[in-house]
Amino acid sequence: MSLCETLGRIQPPNRRLLEQAQSRLDRLTKPLGSLGRLEELAAQYVRISGELKPSVPRGMAVTFAADHGVTIEGVSAYPREVTAQMVLNFLRGGAGVNVLARHAGIAVRVVDIGVAYEFGQVPELIQKKIMWGTKNLLLEPAMSREQAEQAVTVGMEMATIASQEGIGLIGTGDMGIGNTTPSAAITSAMTGLPVDAVTGRGTGIDDAGHARKVSVIQRALDLHRPDRADALDVLRKVGGLEIGGLAGLILGAAAARIPIVLDGFIAGAAALIAVGLQPLCRDYLIASHRSVERGHQAILDHLHLKPLLDLGLRLGEGTGACLGMSLVSAAIKIYMEMATFGEAGVSEKG
């Protein structure tokens, strides 16, 4: 399915179902609203999925991996080779996302959408490589418009596959040394905020590295002048392939009426691209947590999203998304398994 067709399939969630779900929540054996955000989550899931009596969904975290040409400018504390090494770690089940996914009973899918490494035939790795990492955005656009759209299409395809497999909840994951640089560039371009207000320290760069990173991003934006009214233009000029894949995953999930749980800063940048392409997909987003990465709060504010958790996370991979998906499942269990006052024979408030 083409990008245009997918954008056209996305419709607003059913508000009437939200009201019906809230009615049941209000009749459960508890003081009104006493389970707070869990009640909001349950009602939101019903509204998005279209199921008034949902089962606990099967969850899947999709982690897109890609490299970035801008790492040559010294914007990351780690060498580019770590991207490929971590992909292999994911496939062995040894990364943070694997541990938290196992804890939550969630499947993990790893997609090579642009790693600068030849993996060969590796079991379980989904190979969708578009290019061997983006170009250096300080000197030239990160990719062509065609490559940007191709990255989004890969993400949409992954959402379609998940839907066909009966997945009812999708989490976002990412791996790409240097990817907080394009994420900050996207955030500044799409929100209009100054670069230094949305650029953090990524994997832990020092003061000099941070100043260099801010300078690189500002010079890239001044050179390319991405058009915030054209999200694909922003993505191609200063984005990343895994960010494009995540944006497509969001759009594809929304088209299939599957709630999507965002991870942190990189997922937030992808959400800015996705919402820029189709504003209606915003209603399908659940923010798992607030990252300590400086620009993430700006993204959450811009998208009017309230994170479920604030644990000081900044790892990415899909770690926060797995924790958020676990809370969504808990919320649905509360909604479906907790008795109403009438069912339990418990007297209501006088």
Kindly list the catalytic residues.
317
Residue 96 CB partners (closer than 8 Å, separation 6+): 315, 317, 319
What is the chain's Cα-based Rg? 20
DSSP code string of 306-331: --SB-S-----TTHHHHHHHHHHHHH
Distance set, CA 183 to CA 42, 193, 346, 348 (Å): 30, 13, 52, 50
Burial 230-268 (b: 16+ CB within 10 A, else e): ebbbbbbbbbbbbbbbbbbbbbbbbbbbbbbbbbbbbbb
- Cα-Cα-Cα-Cα torsion 209, 268, 249, 117, nearest 10 degrees, comes to 10
- Cα-Cα-Cα-Cα torsion 215, 219, 220, 225, nearest 10 degrees, comes to 140
Q: Round to the nearest angstrom and report the end-to-end CA distance of the chain.
A: 55
3-state secondary structure of 191: helix
CA–CA separation, 174 and 188 (whole Å): 20
DSSP code string of 199-259: ---TTT--HHHHHHHHHHHHHHHHHH---TT-HHHHHHHH--HHHHHHHHHHHHHHHTT--
CA–CA separation, 211 and 205 (whole Å): 10
Residue 86 CB partners (closer than 8 Å, separation 6+): 65, 95, 175, 317
Residue 134 tokens, joined:
């983006």
CA–CA separation, 238 and 225 (whole Å): 10
